[in-house]
Amino acid sequence: MKKANLKKTLAFLVLCLVLVGFIGFVEKQSNYKTYQGTEVFISGVSGLYFVEDKEIRKILETSFPDLKAGLVLEEVPLKEIENRIGGHPFVKSVEATIGQKGILNLSISQHQPIARIARPLAADGYITTEGKVIPTSQSYTSRVLILEGKQAEKLMEKGDVMEEMPELMDLIEYITEDEFWKAQITELEVNSPNDIRMYQQVGKQIIEFGNAMDLEDKFDRIQIFYKEILPRKGWDAYSRVSVKFKDQIVCE
């Protein structure tokens, strides 16, 4: 009789444990079907973050006030969130997904500045690797090639270098992708598509480059100026060197 009661008691305890476990499982599964929070993943650009986690969370808080724990997952506006965050000037792309635990995952890539348009009477702007012109960041400054001049300011207003002056992007990339030229050429004065001038890190000479065509040939002639002319005449002998005319190096 005692054995039978013991078996019943054990069976009852096992049943209670199973029931508690089942209730916990159901509650856990229920949590998975509602929004439980946000995780932001931002890919850096050369170790810099022009987009900050707190900025993204502020955008979500302001633009989506209903996005709170307990919101049914079907009501989380993923596309609207992507569009809103994608409007940030430094956001190149954003992907919003919901994880198994009800966590909103935001994967964000940033635009990469390759040059900076400097304007004396207005705000500066960055040129991205895709040729887009975007505002500068209040959080970080990227040390890149500087552009000045009337044509550079026009490009700032247009907002897309690739559409307005694609050959200039070729010149910027040529300089920034070469270790020597990246260190030596610090600024481009872009007065018009046919009047580009270069300023150097070492050397006071202004280099008149002309248009942004025949890049290899022009840079080869600048190298000849460095290697053959300057050693004989001295670094202070000239204030201007021009390679804008084919097959010529004009020094004054």
Tokens for 139, please give them: 């959080």
User: What is the CATH code for 37-110?
Assistant: 3.10.20.310
Question: How confident is the model at residue 233, as a pLDDT?
Answer: 84
Domain ranges of the chain: 37-110, 150-251
- Please write the tens of the pLDDT for every residue from 71-129: 999 999 999 999 999 999 889 999 999 988 899 999 999 888 999 999 988 889 999 99
How distant is the alpha carbon of residue 201 from its chain centre?
Answer: 26
How many CB atoms within 10 Å of residue 55?
18
Cα–Cα distance measured from residue 150 to residue 156, given in angstroms and rounded to the nearest whole number: 10
Output the pTM of the full model: 0.76
- pLDDT reported for residue 46: 67
Q: Is the dihedral of CA 51, 54, 60, 61 positive or negative?
A: negative
Q: Provide the pairing of β-strand 145-148 with 113-117.
A: parallel
Residue 12, Cβ density class (10 Å: 0-12 exposed, 13-18 middle, ≥19 buried)? exposed
Q: Which residue has the tokens 């002309």?
A: 210
Q: What is the tens place of the pLDDT at every residue in 14-69?
A: 565 555 454 444 445 444 589 999 999 998 776 677 888 999 999 999 999 999 99
Flag the least confident range among 9-18, 124-133, 165-174: 9-18
For the chain, give the mean pLDDT. 86
Q: Identify which of 20, 24, 22, 27 has the alpha carbon closest to the alpha carbon of residue 102.
A: 27
